[in-house]
Amino acid sequence: MRAIARIIVAAAVMGGMIAPVFASAPPNFAALSRIVAVSGYEQQLSAAIAHQLDALHPHTDNLGDVWVTVGSGSPHRLIVAAIDQPGYVVSGITAQGYLRVQRLPQREPNPVFDTLRFAQPAYVVTPKGLLNGGFAGLSIHLAPGRLDPPSMSHIDNLYLDIGAHSAAEARAAGADILDPVRLAQAPMTIGADDEAGAAAGDRFGWEALLEAAQGL
């Protein structure tokens, strides 16, 4: 199971109607979707979701789970959605100032997960804030005719450039081992209400539950 953190809406209803209790302003999904929530680093998004559910008196735990219970009686119904998304953490800093990364979770979600990251902008989340960067890779065009050219689809050839020229510069900018990394692609609306962007499918569940909570 990939997701650890999750948002849970547990409804125990027997007869009658539940009065609307969602008193917060409608969720700003665009802003929430920009919060980095790489697996194991969902705390900021968990806090934001809990704030949106404040009128429902949400509960949280040290894993980043958020849950609310509404209604009373039986039968009980449990609805669960993941809030984390696949990404990376910094696993090393080269002498030239590049960041090396490792997947979270370690198994790629699909066969082209790493390939689609090459030449893409990314954020590194540090205690000082977000660091802008861009994924680079080994140039296979400068080594024609090699019997075993480097693969542009393997994580071992992913390098994250944050503009540093040495390991000391990278650390001075705030980068460190185990900092989470995600693509810097902002979500976009396609058509009337379809959504596209990095990890759009991973956001769908908790967005749907937040929207449903407005009608409780």
CATH number reported for the structural domain that contains residue 165 in this entry: 2.40.30.40
Domain annotation covers residue 22: yes
DSSP state of 37: -
How many Cβ atoms from other residues are within 10 Å of residue 196's Cβ? Answer: 11
* Residue 192: predicted pLDDT: 79
Straight-line distance from the first to the last Cα atom of the chain, in angstroms, rounded to the nearest whole number: 29
This prediction has a pTM of 0.76
What are the backbone dihedrals phi and psi of residue 118, each rounded to the nearest 5 degrees, phi first? Answer: -60, 135
Note the pLDDT of residue 49: 92
What is the layout of strands, in order, in the sheet containing 59-60? 59-60, 66-70, 6-12, 76-82
Tokens of 51: 């704030």
> Do 95 and 30 belong together in one domain?
no
- For residues 52 and 109, membership in a common domain is answered with no
Q: State which amino acid sits at residue 135.
A: F
In a domain, 194, yes or no: no
Domain that holds residue 164: 87-183
Do residues 25 and 112 share a domain?
no
Residue 14 to residue 73: CA distance in whole angstroms: 5
In a shared domain, residues 93 and 76: no
> Are residues 53 and 92 both part of a single domain?
no
Per-residue model confidence (pLDDT) at position 149: 67
| Same-domain check for residues 79 and 91 | no
In a domain, 191, yes or no: no
Does residue 80 sit in the same domain as residue 113? no
Could you read off the pLDDT tens digit of each residue along the chain, which spans 216 residues?
343 345 554 433 333 333 344 445 677 777 888 888 898 898 999 999 999 999 889 999 888 899 999 888 888 888 899 989 889 999 999 999 999 999 988 888 888 888 888 888 999 999 889 999 999 876 767 666 677 766 666 788 889 999 999 999 999 999 999 999 988 877 777 887 777 777 777 888 888 888 888 777
Nearest to 131 by CA among 176, 86, 188, 83: 176
Residue 93 CA to residue 162 CA, distance in Å, equals 11
Residue 193 lies in a domain: no
| 201, burial (CB in 10 Å: exposed 0-12, middle 13-18, buried 19+) | exposed
What domain count does the chain have?
2
